[in-house]
């Protein structure tokens, strides 16, 4: 099947309660999105899988939830005040702004006006605001443009209280904010987004090895945990001139979006840039005592920085499937008709199972289905649905990626079994209620 367009994915996401533009009743806030009831379940599942993979599997990686507001000097030390900017040009005719690297020299992308751009000027991507009632320079604070700096500033504290030895890592998931010049492509580039980052502190002599290690580990995660096929994700190594101000080496992990290959995660060797800058700006010695070498060392940092929203967009794109139905029946469509199904990895699907009474006007079937639904709800996210023909109910669940549909029929009333229909194979099996049903729904 050809990859769906971003519009098709965005339409489905909106129509089925995953993602909607922020403040839509006012015409929408530019480049900000809300995750609806199904979106938040999916996003939470995604973050949980990342967290488990990055913290529980390793003895030497711990978690953090740092504040969004930090001391303003942090952003001077990190280089963001000085260097976190895009070169921006403005069309003199329609006054739209573009990143200089995006525009062809001749024509405006928005209005087509020829040779009407201003000279490029620097535009800082950090949102600035003021703490407290006055707006003097002393009260300036920033919405963090990346979660990493919270980790660096707390690293000496965490190392000490958790008695960590090199190498060790600190993981964090949190919001970041960037005043992007050209936000767009649905949730691909927004001004408020979430990052899932792990900063790994290593001996300088071992940095190259750990950089390679984390590249492979993160690629493994995309393949084995999220199920992205080999031909949909790749590395994009940065050439020297592409490197950010802090990086000694960098490899993007890119996903093949309908728009093109685009970055979903960056793996960076940041050298000692961050800790040496924070040591300088704070006046504190941020080196650690290395138990093995018995020497003080200023660790280097290997960073893995994924965008939760971009990975989620990749997941939706990957899952969006339109297929032709071979046989009428469990597909909820007639033979030859199209079926739209979101083939999300089962452990990520926002709803684990839907429970239906076969007939919605039969009190006994309804009561039994509601009872089963209540019981299953203690273990999974469940939807109960008795509205409309059973085929329509299947279709609604297919579109949100529900792996199992549990139907209560007349046989259920006699022997306490139900049919369980599989989203992908469309097979229907009879399963006994209770532990057997729970085990069946747990299978991923
Ligand atoms: P880009 O080149 O696309 O602007 P970046 O190289 O600036 O991205 P990083 O600073 O490496 O991105 O941030 C790490 C991750 O955070 C990115 O791989 C991406 O998934 C996510 N990210 C960065 N900016 C945005 C944004 N404006 N909206 C959504 N996600 C973002």
In tens, the pLDDT along 312-339 reads: 999 999 999 999 988 877 777 788 889 9
Separation between Cα atoms, residue 81 and residue 102, nearest integer Å: 23
Do 144 and 117 lie in a common domain?
A: no
In a domain, 213, yes or no: yes
Closest C-alpha to ligand 1, atom 2: 263
Q: Going by DSSP bridges, is the β-strand pair 233-237/249-257 parallel, antiparallel, or unpaired?
A: antiparallel
User: With a 6 A CB cut-off, is 195 part of the ligand 1 pocket?
Assistant: yes
Both tokens assigned to 251: 């490899």
Q: How many domains does the chain have?
A: 3
Do 300 and 389 lie in a common domain?
A: no
Q: Going by DSSP bridges, is the β-strand pair 33-35/140-142 parallel, antiparallel, or unpaired?
A: unpaired
Distance 96 CA to ligand 1 centre (A): 22
User: With a 6 A CB cut-off, is 290 part of the ligand 1 pocket?
Assistant: no
Separation between Cα atoms, residue 83 and residue 105, nearest integer Å: 25
Domain CATH code at residue 402 = 3.40.50.800
Whether residue 125 contacts residue 180, with contact meaning beta carbons closer than 8 Å, is answered with yes
Distance 272 CA to ligand 1 centre (A): 22
**Would you state the pLDDT for residue 404?**
98
The stretch 176-182 carries a mean pLDDT of 90
For residue 108, pLDDT beyond 90: no
Domain boundary among 265, 281, 316: 316
Do 92 and 67 lie in a common domain?
A: no
Q: Which atom of ligand 1 is nearest to the CA of 311?
A: 20
Separation between Cα atoms, residue 28 and residue 98, nearest integer Å: 21
In a domain, 396, yes or no: yes
Whether residue 113 contacts residue 93, with contact meaning beta carbons closer than 8 Å, is answered with yes
Domain boundary among 281, 316, 351: 316
Strand partners, 356: 407
**Would you state the pLDDT for residue 259?**
87
Per residue in 344-372, pLDDT (tens digit) is 999 999 999 999 999 999 999 999 999 99
Do 281 and 429 lie in a common domain?
A: no
Give the model's confidence band at 209: pLDDT under 50 very low, under 70 low, under 90 confident, else very high. very high
The stretch 239-252 carries a mean pLDDT of 89
For residue 102, pLDDT beyond 80: no
Whether residue 303 contacts residue 247, with contact meaning beta carbons closer than 8 Å, is answered with no
Domain boundary among 301, 316, 331: 316
Distance 156 CA to ligand 1 centre (A): 27
Do 105 and 19 lie in a common domain?
A: no
Distance 64 CA to ligand 1 centre (A): 20
Do 356 and 234 lie in a common domain?
A: no
DSSP 8-state class, residue 137 = G
Please give the mean pLDDT across all residues of the chain.
93
Whether residue 29 contacts residue 21, with contact meaning beta carbons closer than 8 Å, is answered with yes
Per residue in 30-86, pLDDT (tens digit) is 899 999 999 999 999 999 999 999 999 999 999 999 999 999 999 999 989 887 777
Both tokens assigned to 339: 């079926």
DSSP 8-state class, residue 107 = B
User: With a 6 A CB cut-off, is 194 part of the ligand 1 pocket?
Assistant: no
User: With a 6 A CB cut-off, is 305 part of the ligand 1 pocket?
Assistant: yes
Do 251 and 178 lie in a common domain?
A: yes
Q: Which residues contact 193 (CB under 8 A, 6 or more apart)?
A: 175, 176, 177, 178, 187, 307, 308, 309, 310
User: With a 6 A CB cut-off, is 147 part of the ligand 1 pocket?
Assistant: no
SS3 of 408, please?
Answer: strand
Separation between Cα atoms, residue 61 and residue 315, nearest integer Å: 26
The stretch 369-392 carries a mean pLDDT of 96
Do 164 and 98 lie in a common domain?
A: no
Give residue for tokens 């996401």. 13
Q: Which atom of ligand 1 is nearest to the CA of 188?
A: 29
DSSP 8-state class, residue 286 = -
In 70-191, where do the E strands start and end?
85-90, 97-99, 121-124, 128-130, 140-142, 168-177
Per residue in 112-137, pLDDT (tens digit) is 888 778 888 788 889 999 988 887 77
Do 204 and 115 lie in a common domain?
A: no
In a domain, 328, yes or no: no
**Would you state the pLDDT for residue 430?**
97
Do 168 and 67 lie in a common domain?
A: yes
Distance 220 CA to ligand 1 centre (A): 20
SS3 of 82, please?
Answer: helix
For residue 9, pLDDT beyond 70: yes
Do 175 and 133 lie in a common domain?
A: yes
Q: Which atom of ligand 1 is nearest to the CA of 191?
A: 27
How far does the chain reach from its first CA to its final CA, in angstroms? 24
Q: Which atom of ligand 1 is nearest to the CA of 268?
A: 11
In a domain, 1, yes or no: no
Task: Tell me the residue range of the domain where 243 lies.
Answer: 6-73+126-316
Distance 145 CA to ligand 1 centre (A): 10
User: With a 6 A CB cut-off, is 174 part of the ligand 1 pocket?
Assistant: no
Burial of residue 237 (CB within 10 Å: 0-12, 13-18, 19+) is exposed
Do 115 and 167 lie in a common domain?
A: no
In a domain, 228, yes or no: yes
Whether cis (ω within 30° of 0) applies to the bond prior to 410 is: no
Within 283-421, residue ranges assigned H as helices are 308-319, 363-376, 390-400, 410-415
Give the model's confidence band at 374: pLDDT under 50 very low, under 70 low, under 90 confident, else very high. very high
CA distances (Å), 277 to each of 72, 79, 268, 403, 433, in order?
14, 9, 17, 50, 61
Diameter of the chain by CA atoms? 79
The stretch 286-293 carries a mean pLDDT of 89
Question: Residue 29: how many CB atoms within 10 A of its CB?
Answer: 14
Distance 350 CA to ligand 1 centre (A): 25
Q: Number of helices (H) and strands (E), helices first, in the chain?
A: 12, 23
Distance 263 CA to ligand 1 centre (A): 7
User: With a 6 A CB cut-off, is 180 part of the ligand 1 pocket?
Assistant: yes
User: With a 6 A CB cut-off, is 90 part of the ligand 1 pocket?
Assistant: no
Closest C-alpha to ligand 1, atom 24: 189
Q: Which atom of ligand 1 is nearest to the CA of 178?
A: 27
DSSP 8-state class, residue 119 = P
Say what percent of the chain tops pLDDT 90. Answer: 77
Ligand 1 pocket mutation pick from 310, 313, 315 by most atoms within 8 angstroms of CB: 310
Region at 245 (left for phi over 0; alpha for psi -120 to 50; beta for the rest):
alpha
Whether residue 329 contacts residue 426, with contact meaning beta carbons closer than 8 Å, is answered with yes
Whether residue 98 contacts residue 89, with contact meaning beta carbons closer than 8 Å, is answered with yes
Within 52-183, residue ranges assigned H as helices are 73-77, 80-83, 148-161
In a domain, 332, yes or no: no
Q: Which atom of ligand 1 is nearest to the CA of 244?
A: 6
User: With a 6 A CB cut-off, is 266 part of the ligand 1 pocket?
Assistant: yes
Give the model's confidence band at 291: pLDDT under 50 very low, under 70 low, under 90 confident, else very high. confident
Separation between Cα atoms, residue 293 and residue 265, nearest integer Å: 33
Distance 209 CA to ligand 1 centre (A): 25
In a domain, 322, yes or no: no
Separation between Cα atoms, residue 368 and residue 360, nearest integer Å: 11
Closest C-alpha to ligand 1, atom 22: 307
In a domain, 223, yes or no: yes
Separation between Cα atoms, residue 169 and residue 162, nearest integer Å: 11
Domain CATH code at residue 59 = 3.30.930.10
Nearest residue to 370 via CA among 399, 406, 330: 406
Closest C-alpha to ligand 1, atom 20: 307
């Amino acid at each position: 099947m050809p990859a769906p367009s971003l519009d098709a994915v965005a339409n489905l996401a909106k129509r089925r309660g995953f993602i909607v533009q922020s403040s839509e009743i006012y015409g929408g806030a530019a480049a900000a999105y809300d995750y609806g009831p199904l979106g938040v379940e999916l996003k939470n599942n995604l973050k949980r899988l990342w967290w488990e993979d990055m913290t529980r599997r390793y003895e030497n990686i711990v978690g953090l939830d740092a504040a969004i507001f930090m001391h303003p000097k942090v952003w001077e030390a990190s280089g963001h005040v000085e260097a976190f900017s895009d070169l921006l040009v403005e069309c003199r005719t329609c006054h739209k702004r573009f990143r200089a690297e995006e525009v062809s020299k001749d024509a405006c992308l928005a209005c087509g006006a020829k040779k009407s751009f201003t000279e490029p000027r620097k535009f800082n991507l950090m949102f600035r605001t003021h703490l407290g009632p006055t707006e003097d320079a002393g009260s300036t604070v920033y919405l963090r443009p990346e979660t990493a700096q919270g980790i660096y500033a707390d690293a000496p504290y965490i190392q000490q209280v958790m008695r960590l030895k090199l190498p060790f890592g600190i993981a964090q998931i949190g919001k970041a904010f960037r005043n992007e010049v050209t936000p767009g492509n649905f949730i691909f580039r927004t001004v408020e987004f979430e990052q899932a980052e792990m900063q790994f502190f290593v001996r300088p002599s071992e940095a190259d090895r750990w950089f390679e290690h984390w590249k492979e580990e993160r690629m493994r995660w995309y393949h084995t945990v999220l199920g992205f096929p080999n031909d949909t994700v790749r590395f994009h190594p940065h050439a020297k001139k592409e490197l950010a101000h802090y990086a000694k080496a960098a490899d993007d992990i890119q996903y093949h979006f309908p728009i093109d290959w685009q970055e979903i995660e960056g793996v960076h060797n940041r050298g000692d840039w961050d800790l040496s800058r924070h040591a300088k700006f704070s006046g504190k010695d941020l080196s650690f005592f290395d138990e093995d070498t018995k020497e003080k060392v200023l660790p280097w940092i290997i960073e893995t920085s994924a965008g939760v929203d971009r990975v989620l967009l990749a997941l939706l794109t990957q899952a969006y499937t339109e297929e032709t139905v071979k046989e009428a029946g469990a597909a909820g469509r007639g033979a030859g008709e199209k079926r739209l199904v979101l083939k999300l990895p089962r452990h990520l699907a926002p709803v684990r199972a839907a429970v239906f009474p076969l007939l919605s006007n039969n009190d006994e079937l309804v009561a039994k289905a509601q009872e089963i639904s209540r019981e299953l709800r203690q273990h999974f996210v469940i939807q109960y649905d008795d509205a409309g023909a059973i085929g329509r109910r299947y279709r609604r669940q297919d579109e949100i990626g529900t792996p199992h549909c549990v139907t209560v029929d007349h046989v259920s009333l006699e022997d306490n079994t139900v049919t369980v229909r599989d989203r992908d194979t469309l097979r229907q099996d009879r399963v006994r209620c209770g532990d057997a049903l729970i085990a069946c729904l747990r299978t991923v």
